[in-house]
A = this chain, B = another copy of it.
Amino acid sequence: MTNHHHDSIRAVEWANGALKLLDQRLLPQQRTYVVLENARDTAQAITDMVVRGAPAIGVTAAYGVVLAARACYARSSTTWQGDIEADLDVLARSRPTAVNLFWALDRMRGHLAHVSGDPYEPLLAEARRIHEEDIAANRHMGQLGAALIAGSSQRPCAVLTHCNTGSLATGGYGTALGVIRAAYAAGKINQVFADETRPWMQGARLTAWELVEDNIPVTLVVEGAGAHLMKQGAVHWVIVGADRIAANGDTANKIGTYNLAIVARYHGAKFMVVAPTSTVDMTLSNGTGIPIEIRSADEILNHTGTRVAALGAAAWNPAFDVTPAELIDAIVTERGVVLSPTPQKWPI
């Protein structure tokens, strides 16, 4: 297996004293970077989906705190720890569903309370640790998740994934796509089906690109083809990431995930959620409390700037849905795997 891709592409990078984001709205046609110098622009970039994917948003927010601290400290070396709260608020309001964002802000906030003197280097070091720990978690989850897949090089199977959960959605390597990479390297799978993932087409634009770069065979399907595909019997696992997992295992993820979980159960295909523990929200007993972001109707009514739907049509554009724990066969975290999560078994 080549792995030049996930070693060479970074969605989020700290470079030359600034935050550098690969603009994922333009991929794979254009590889353009956005350089951010302050927290407010960072928050806007998250809102506008320059960067997306729960772990990548968390890493981005951590670096955003570094930018905020640098600016606040430059303005006042005595009040910066209070002044920074306004920037933390702006970052926290950038997107509502992925809890990794709040987890990263909390972790950075906890760290900055202990900083004396110039916060730049210690906070940058903490943000880098968050970033590196995420990559390490992904690598470990890749092994844990791949071990669940029963395919072998004699009898490899196919899997289906949704949205993008790879290097682009994380610090690097990927959650669900990390499992797919590890399982492919182990010869357990020989084919990845990726659905397009409307309206942002993360499957068509991002997942297909990452897999092609890794020489892993990828076949796109429209989301409507999920059930027909599973009926053919080739798909043994549906493997997805998560934006927030409640204390009972209910999982918020990209809109369309819940559809797939229902359809997988109907066909006897297994359903795996792969997410670091930074995605777990122990303050919510179940998924009903997870705030679901409703994005602009224009994302559905227009395509690449051109109106598609008739004037007068409305659109409802929830960005996420919640898959109940009962439809999940395995939750894979860097701390271990829970099979058929129940409140008794989960969190690990």
Does any Cβ of B come within 8 Å of A17's Cβ?
A: no
Knowing A199-B222, A217-B314, A315-B219, the reply to whether A228 touches B303 (Cβ < 8 A) is no
A321 engages B223 (CB within 8 Å): no
Cα A289 to Cα B304 in complex, Å, equals 40
- State the copy count for this chain: 2
Interface residues of A, dominant DSSP: mixed
Q: Mark A235-263, 1 if CB is under 8 A from B, else 0.
A: 00000000000000000001111110011
Residues of chain B contacted by A219 (CB below 8 angstroms): 313-316
A310 engages B224 (CB within 8 Å): no
Does any Cβ of B come within 8 Å of A226's Cβ?
A: yes
Cα A297 to Cα B219 in complex, Å, equals 10
> Is the interface on chain A under 10, 10 to 19, 20 to 34, or 35 or more residues?
35 or more
B212 engages A258 (CB within 8 Å): no
Residues of chain B contacted by A92 (CB below 8 angstroms): none
B201 engages A308 (CB within 8 Å): yes
Does any Cβ of B come within 8 Å of A128's Cβ?
A: no
Does any Cβ of B come within 8 Å of A220's Cβ?
A: yes
- Return A270 CB to nearest CB of chain B, in Å: 16
Cα A198 to Cα B201 in complex, Å, equals 11
Does any Cβ of B come within 8 Å of A205's Cβ?
A: yes
Cα A199 to Cα B311 in complex, Å, equals 21
A204, A205, A310, most chain B CB atoms within 10 A:
A310
Q: Mark A272-311, 1 if CB is under 8 A from B, else 0.
A: 0000000000000000000010000100110110111111
Cα A322 to Cα B225 in complex, Å, equals 11
Interface residues of A in 176-211 (CB under 8 A from B): 193, 196-199, 201, 204-205, 208-209, 211
Q: Which of B199, B209, B259, B306 contacts A259 (CB 8 A)?
A: B259
- Return A162 CB to nearest CB of chain B, in Å: 8
Q: Which of B29, B218, B315, B317 contacts A314 (CB 8 A)?
A: B218
Does any Cβ of B come within 8 Å of A312's Cβ?
A: yes
B212 engages A313 (CB within 8 Å): yes
Residues of chain B contacted by A254 (CB below 8 angstroms): 224
Residues of chain B contacted by A198 (CB below 8 angstroms): 196, 198, 222-224
B231 engages A258 (CB within 8 Å): yes
- Return A332 CB to nearest CB of chain B, in Å: 22
In the complex formed, the residue of B with least CB distance to A256 is B224
In the complex formed, the residue of B with least CB distance to A300 is B220
A218 engages B313 (CB within 8 Å): yes
Closest 7 pairs (CB-CB, A-B): A224-B256, A228-B321, A208-B313, A209-B310, A198-B222, A212-B312, A220-B315
Q: List 6 A-B contacts (CB under 8 A).
A: A204-B301, A212-B312, A218-B313, A222-B255, A222-B256, A262-B266
- Listed in ascending order, the chain A residues whose CB lies under 8 Å from chain B are 28-29, 162, 193, 196-199, 201, 204-205, 208-209, 211-213, 217-229, 231, 254-259, 262-263, 266, 292, 297, 300-301, 303-304, 306-318, 321-322
